[in-house]
A and B are shown apart, each in its own frame.
Chain A
Amino acid sequence: MSDLSVLIVDDNEVDRYLLRRQLYETGLNLEVFEEVDGGAALTFLQNFDQNSADCPDTCPPTIIFLDINMPVLTGLEFLEKFAILHRREVFRSCIVMMFTSSEQIEDMHSIERFEFVKDYLVKGSISAADLRHRVERAISID
């Protein structure tokens, strides 16, 4: 049984692979889900919501790693939709960690208003030890 479940939302397969491997490197006991864009991630979460009645053991992912530049539903669009979902009991404990290569300040400003966004990771710039530290801190803040 895993301690934590996480969802990686990124259109780039290689980036998903890199994050997944880095998460394993941290040594944390994790269950990792992947989705290719904001829309798919939203559907995944909504399904979780519906299924939770049937299988009470599964819980929604604790951490969502979210890319910003994605087709269909961008990271920001996803956050806006997810903000509504987040008011529900099941998603209360969900937190989001942005995971993107854009270091643009505008992005930082536009995500500040979502209180469930706990951190901002820049792709390719953190070590496994760093990642573990940030994940632990994000969960404990929550």
Chain B
Amino acid sequence: MKAGSFEWHPARSADEAVALLAEYAPQDGRVIAGGQSLVPSMALRLAFPSHLIDINGVEEFARVRVDGNELVIGACVRHAAFHVPVEPGPLGRLMVQVVHDIAHFPIRQRGTFCGSLANADPASEWCLLAATLGARMVAKSVRGTRVIPAADWFQGIMTTALAEDELLAEVRLPLLPEGSRAGFYEFSRRAGDYALAMALVTWRDQGGAMQDVRIGAGAVEVQPRRLAKAEAVLEGRPRGTAAIDDAAAAASAAVDPLEDFHTSADYRRDLVGTAVRRAFAQAGS
């Protein structure tokens, strides 16, 4: 199908973009970044905005940089930017691995990291990364700038803490300390499909025991989140098959899975445990 009618407002600077958003958000206006979620939903007439504020021409949004111990990702940084490490540490390497499961190569050339966070699909890989590592979202509007932690950002299926006149200007991801270990696994039916379940894990090996364990699950509940009960199973324990199996069982027990026509809650619950085990295995020995 064809998209409904709208007026197009290309912005050239961040200030111009938020000014346009302030003006048009009350008239059913919204941001277009990569368009890789918005344009399909317009074509399917699930979305029919009257105004689009186009941020593709805003040069300052195209930057990714390290600031202190954070990786700062601007609003127009494409998924494809992460095909190579954007920083030399464990986070850069983890992101290379994760990005390959996001849609397909041509879609990754347009779609943006921040667009994924704003879209907040329960099955978004970047949302899982942001939730697991504890990203900070920087929201900008003509009223000012505020920083929203991941714990407050996700508010259900495709719902975030962003107000309608706010633009997600950048996402700040904490760098993983040198020596951190990280693994990611997702299950989907075909290459490029949205995941049915995925897990992302990070930890440090400290004198033979696992420390700072983080276990995040995505595509399972209405939003990605850390599974504290599964993390607690591993904290301070040596890494081994039995310990990981216990954590996987705790992860399965902890979730309240979404159901759909093809995927029952029990199946998803089972898949979460598998995803956790495979994420640890994928991180290597």
| A, B bound | no
Q: Give chain B's interface residues, CB within 8 Å of chain A.
A: none
